[in-house]
Structure 1
């Protein structure tokens, strides 16, 4: 897959610049930021461009005249059917200094650049958090029709609030508006277990009684957890289809997607993506994927069989993955998306309840934001694109 490049701007002494960078330069910048506790998402790794078939990647960087990068972005460009125009998507990006009150320093050049390569609209995923709710608080506040927004947050991040205000002032629109279950491609609400500064005993004690009981049960039944490989992906995918049918959702990805993801992420860095397997009496009953970038670890996708659920293979998998993330020096174990419902009778609440048992916290991100780019044609294409997404 070839990256789309245009000429970088001239770099006069002391002048800030934004322009294309090589995948190699971009990779080095991501690696330098990944060493910190608030490192970039795996969706901004250069390898992710190889995962997303049908999108053209554009690697951008910005900084001062000496060439040192202070920000960067993987921009994925999707052609709009029947045109030579693109929808530009920065999943959980860009990698920027969101605390800088002058976002226009890099945001305006970024928009100008993607417009120059033919984009009619841009979607970004600002990385600051917005609100947080601890598991202990949420477990006592469930009720009919209740949602996360009905519960006072344990913490409101002032940076997230400021970034949202700055984007609105510049005409950006949050996907789905203020609806909790909006039109974001990535989850607005995620579940995170803090690992930094905690020992394994503290992590164990952070699990609720049901989780500890289920992990012990999996041990008594002889559930074996191992790290698999590419050859095990077909079995993972078979279990995923069973899970989708049982739980009433459809990710819409085929086996080739996961095989490509596993290959390109691990080609970029061996062990970046792992496949964990839970076996009972020789049969694989559950399989979960894990992605690591620097000091951040994500549980990405889980799958399990319909039978022998009483031996608790998924609990065994998650506990092993959490311990491995902790041993690797991760600061946070991110279990990805959770629904916003706190209604026990809502089918989706089961996923939130399961994750709450690990003793972490629900984090509301800023979600995804969009803006059409300047020009009458672009605004018309943006409206058509919104209608196209609604039909899908």
Structure 2
């Protein structure tokens, strides 16, 4: 009898069939939520490199006005399928809490049976005294490449006026599922969301350093060369350099008309606790010219992702372009670390060149990345709290903050 010949194509089809069967089996199993120890939680994150740094245990130590809990979703056999860092903020004068999962939880957001995830979470948090919950689902919603966004600039224009380069089907479906279950999308990056609604990301995966360089526009390449020719040095600083960073940050806030409202002690604590969790998790990059620090930027490394978090620069000698030199160094270091993308964090939604905030977007567009509209943050009260004075008072409290 002749042996059955199994072709590579058939093997491929069989493999995908088995994967689909495994997925259907998993989606038929119920999930429960329980508290996790730090080692359990960190072990899960180590297997899920795409998690935001805001979901790492160290972030709870940065937000010291909140208390925290780590939770995990489990199948009946104990296998863990998802996890999240929950921050609790007590409403003054009560024993009730606002529960917040910044850029989390780490879950299978493509699962159409979303109630398997939300229902056990809500039961767990209600038992902990929460009267409302806010989550930050991680799928993207829409993306615009740099060329598309730049071509669409004009008076009164918003990024939402422009046909997206890509719409994420997972994000679009998830938004509908949350909405039909009574979750409400928070107001916007300047009105409700604690994290930016629109961010700027530079893809790194599968690209060589030369390809990253050619992805910069001509102005960026010229400015990086200008900084090198002027003798700007880019170095990684230490905790001792944080006061210099903070002095530059205050200058930047005054010059650009914004106020982050954070103290030097905040950055010192953030630097200490993130690097205690893993050395090099938070890095401070310095742009030095003629012995003076002219620019200082912070970077966070977690899993397979890297974030440019906060940037600051001096008012003088701006012609030597220290910030461009720093960003190029940070982007190259992120690539060398094996990061999948370099996240430059928030950008404004305006495409109007006459708007003051547009300058930040214009600067980031020069790196050749993408404007990404995230799903934003979604909130819901617990059963029985939707129309109570407590929930309305807390909404007013958040608006004042």
Quote the offset at 1:17 in angstroms: 2.0
Does the 8 A contact of 1:373 with 1:379 survive in 2? no
Match of 2:184 in 1: 173
Q: Does 1:29 align with 2:44?
A: yes
Q: Please, which of 25, 47, 53 is the counterpart of residue 42 of structure 1?
A: 53
Offset of residue 123 of structure 1: 0.5
Q: Which residue of 2 aligns with 1:241?
A: 250
* TM-aligned CA deviation for residue 180 of structure 1: 6.8
Partner of 1:152: 163
Distance 1:162 1:379 in 2: 30
After the TM superposition, which residues 1-392 of structure 1 pair with which residues of structure 2 at under 5 Å, given as runs?
16-34=31-49, 39-176=50-187, 181-376=190-385, 379-392=388-401
Which residue does the alignment assign to 2:8? none
Q: CA RMSD in A?
A: 1.2
Secondary structure of the corresponding residue to residue 286 of structure 1: strand
Q: How many residues align?
A: 373
Q: Give unpaired runs (5+ residues) of structure 2.
A: 1-28
Instruction: Report the CA distance between 1:382 and its aligned residue.
Output: 1.5
How big is each residue's C-alpha offset from its partner over 1:277-334, in whole Å with a ceiling of 9 and x where there is no partner? 0000000000000011121100000011111101000000000000000111111000
Return the offset for 1:377: 8.1
Deviation at 1:181, TM superposition (A): 4.6
Asked if the contact 1:44–1:74 (Cα under 8 Å) also holds between the matched residues in 2, the reply is: yes
Asked if 1 retains the 8 angstrom alpha-carbon contact of 2:30 and 2:116, the reply is no
CA contact 1:120–1:378 (8 Å) conserved in 2: no
Runs of 4+ that moved beyond 4 A = none
Contact 2:189 2:196 in 1 (8 A): no
Q: Deviations over 1:339-374 (max 9, x none)?
A: 000000000000000000000000000000000111
CA distance 1:377–1:151, shift in 2 (3 Å): closer
Distance 1:340 1:377 in 2: 30
After superposition, give the CA deviation of every residue in 1:30-66 in whole Å (9 maximum; x if it has no partner).
11101xxxx1000000111111011000110011123
Deviation of 1:380 (Å):
2.6
Instruction: Tell me by how many angstroms 1:182 deviates.
Output: 3.8
**Conserved? CA contact 1:181–1:340, under 8 Å:** no
How many Å separate the matches in 2 of 1:108 and 1:16? 9
Contact 1:134–1:361 (CA under 8 A) maintained in structure 2: yes
Q: Is the 8 A contact 2:192 2:399 kept in 1?
A: no
What SS class does the counterpart of residue 267 from structure 2 fall into?
helix
Secondary structure in structure 2 of the residue aligned to 1:121: strand
Q: 1:69 Cα deviation (Å)?
A: 1.1
Change (3 A) 1:205 1:198: same
Match of 2:11 in 1: none
Give me the TM-score of the superposition, normalised by structure 1: 0.93
CA deviations on 1:148-176 (whole Å, 9 max, x unpaired) are: 01111000111100000000011000001
Q: Structure 1: which 5+ runs fail to align?
A: 1-13
Quick check: 1:121–1:378 contact (8 Å CA) kept in 2?
A: no
Provide the secondary structure at the position in 2 that maps to 1:260. Answer: helix
